[in-house]
A = this chain, B = another copy of it.
């Protein structure tokens, strides 16, 4: 074992590493990552004989040999594969260890299992350091197959399933690959504001951000605890002010001592202050503040109406016009009441901007980015993708390879419409009629990329009428310099069972 202040090598260096190397501890923990054992090209066999501390959650466990020992499949989320752990009855109370979901930390020796077993290495436990017990009767995520729908009701535990953990690793990989791609190509990452007063897309489906309601509720509670003054209270205070004023007048008329007059004036001022406080409080009204029959946004947090951004594009463009290559990568919000697999209220979006580039450069960037993502997954997440291929989408790995290695077709919108019209003449039926000027429907895009070309297709120069106001008008005055990348099968979602 090396010291804990030394980091394990990144996954892509594991393959190159000397298989006789000592196993390496996690940098900020006294355990090893299970991936650094079973993720090696030799499945961990080269580590036989080494003492390690492993930790994780039991995926499946069973007592064997009439209760003399237990097998545990231990997973720590560092990779899809489990570490097989063997505990003898003399070391721990086996029944406390075997329930799915049990959290364990164990010290032991790595050994090559007997011939004929699937594992290339297993851990023989010498000491159980920690057990976080699970009551199988209450644990809601058993080892049986569970639907994604079911898991949605157990958000706090679903990351312990193979499916959600694999998605977490894949999403992590794609997020970091996104940053790596743009950083390698000298784009600056800009955090554009989430809170905004402008509606970039003009679609109007924005979430409003406000403190008016909570402030009104706070005030309402306050007014119940401490009611506003009544008219009578204010009248009494007014009366007091006039009495005190009269007293001052009389003292002055009677040429009283300066001290007496000063004291009387002080009393008058106190009465005035008290009146003004009461008048101020009497103006407090429950409810959202109004002015001229409308909500008074000058009283909102930002002194105006504010929303969640639907796109950082307008802001990041100001950076593109100063530092030339930029991208955003952050959450975006749409208050759309569309419940489809393509609509989300909250999602993360990448928005690159390149100064001094034309549409061809833009297409090159998009193609390079998509290929980079695919290659990254094939290199760093093949085990998770294999899980996905096995359980959700048979062709996903082949598709990643195809997209990573095939030059994308580039056709203008006008050419795309011609190809679709040609298909219609050839007998192809579309639900949505094809003619120049339409927004391509999903069925049209799928025809182009899945049937006609069977590879990724970039369609560019769209009619100005169907694209946003900020697109550059081409010299034909009919089309704008916009492009969309179409990839086979994207947008097709198959629900299934998670394990």
Nearest CB in chain B: distance from A32 CB, A: 10
Residue A22, interface by CB 8 Å: no
Question: Cβ of A77: which chain B residues have Cβ within 8 Å of it?
Answer: 188, 322-324
Instruction: Give the distance in Å from the alpha carbon of A423 to the alpha carbon of B90 in the complex.
Output: 56
Segment among A42-50, A178-186, A392-400 that sits at the interface with chain B: A178-186
CB distance from A111 to the nearest CB of B (A): 22
Q: Once the chains bind, are B211 and A190 in contact (CB under 8 Å)? A: no
Give the complex CA separation of A221 and B213 in angstroms.
21
Contacts of A190 in B (CB 8 A): 168, 172
Query: Which residues of the other chain, B, contact A324 by a CB distance below 8 angstroms?
Result: 33, 55-56, 76-78
Report whether A159 and B319 are in contact in the complex, using a CB–CB cutoff of 8 Å. yes
B184 touches A10 (CB 8 A): yes
Interface segment, one of A258-266, A350-358, A425-433: A350-358
Asked if B354 contacts A28 (CB within 8 A), the reply is: yes
Counting CB contacts under 8 A, is A64 at the interface? no
Q: Is the CB of B368 within 8 A of A27?
A: yes
* Contacting pair A55 B208 (CB below 8 A): no
Q: Closest approach, in angstroms, between the C-beta of A320 and any C-beta of chain B?
A: 9
Q: Are A186 and B33 in contact (CB under 8 A)?
A: yes
Residue A364 at the B interface, CB < 8 A?
Answer: yes
Kindly state whether residue A219 has any CB partner on chain B within 8 Å: no
User: Are A78 and B186 touching (Cβ within 8 A)?
Assistant: yes
Stretch at the interface among A119-127, A191-199, A481-489: A191-199
The secondary-structure label for the interface of chain A is mixed
If the complex has contacts A77-B188, A78-B324, A324-B77, are A345 and B301 also in contact, measured as CB distance less than 8 A? yes
Interface string of A157-195 (1 = CB under 8 A from B): 101100011001101100110010001111011110111
Output the least CB separation between A355 and chain B (Å).
7
**A148 close to B (CB within 8 Å):** no
Contact indicator A26/B186 (Cβ below 8 Å): yes
Supposing A28-B362, A195-B345 touch, asked if A76 and B176 sit within 8 A by C-beta, the answer is: no
Say if the beta carbon of A242 comes within 8 Å of chain B: no
CB atoms of B189 and A175 under 8 A apart: yes
**Which B residues touch A193, using CB under 8 A?**
346
Instruction: List residues 302-356 of chain A with CB under 8 A from any CB of chain B.
Output: 302, 308, 318-319, 321-325, 330-331, 333, 335, 345-346, 348, 354-356
* Cβ of A5 under 8 Å from chain B: yes
B213 touches A188 (CB 8 A): no
A274 to nearest B CB, angstroms?
27
- A7 close to chain B: CB less than 8 A: yes
Q: Determine whether A361 belongs to the interface, using a CB cutoff of 8 Å to chain B.
A: yes
Tell me which residues across on chain B come within 8 A of A210, comparing CB atoms.
207-208, 210, 213
Interface status of A51 (Cβ within 8 A of chain B):
no
- Bound CA span A354–B159, Å: 15
Please determine whether A322 and B165 come into contact, CB atoms closer than 8 angstroms. Answer: yes
Contact, CB under 8 Å: A188 / B168: yes
Residue in chain B with minimal CB distance to A178: B179
Contact of A361 among B28, B56, B186, B194 (CB under 8 A): B28
**Are B165 and A29 closer than 8 Å at their CB atoms?**
no
Q: B323 contacts A29, CB within 8 Å?
A: no
Pairwise interchain contact B179-A176, C-beta atoms closer than 8 A: yes
CA distance A209 to B325 in the complex (A): 33
**Using Cβ atoms and an 8 Å threshold, which residues of chain B touch A118?**
none
**For the complex, is A419 an interface residue (Cβ under 8 Å from B)?**
no
Within the assembled complex, what's the spacing in Å between the Cα atoms of A27 and B206? Answer: 36
Decide if A146 is an interface residue (CB 8 Å cutoff): no
Does any Cβ of B come within 8 Å of A438's Cβ?
A: no
Set of chain B residues within 8 Å of A185, measured between Cβ atoms: 7-8, 26-28
Residue ranges of A at the interface with B (Cβ–Cβ < 8 Å): 4-5, 7-8, 10, 26-31, 33, 35, 55-57, 76-78, 103, 105, 155-157, 159-160, 164-165, 168-169, 171-172, 175-176, 179, 183-186, 188-191, 193-195, 206-211, 213-214, 288, 295, 301-302, 308, 318-319, 321-325, 330-331, 333, 335, 345-346, 348, 354-357, 361-362, 364-365, 368
**What are 28 A-B pairs at a CB distance below 8 A?**
A4-B364, A5-B364, A8-B186, A26-B186, A26-B325, A28-B354, A28-B357, A28-B365, A30-B356, A157-B318, A157-B322, A159-B318, A159-B322, A165-B323, A168-B188, A169-B323, A171-B189, A176-B183, A191-B331, A194-B346, A195-B333, A207-B209, A208-B210, A208-B214, A288-B288, A308-B308, A330-B331, A331-B331
Which 10 pairs show the lowest CB-CB distances between chains A and B?
A: A77-B323, A159-B322, A28-B365, A172-B188, A55-B356, A160-B322, A156-B318, A28-B361, A29-B357, A172-B189
Q: A159-B323, A207-B301, A208-B209 are in contact. List 9 more A-B contacts (CB 8 A).
A: A27-B185, A159-B322, A168-B190, A168-B319, A169-B323, A172-B190, A210-B210, A288-B288, A331-B331
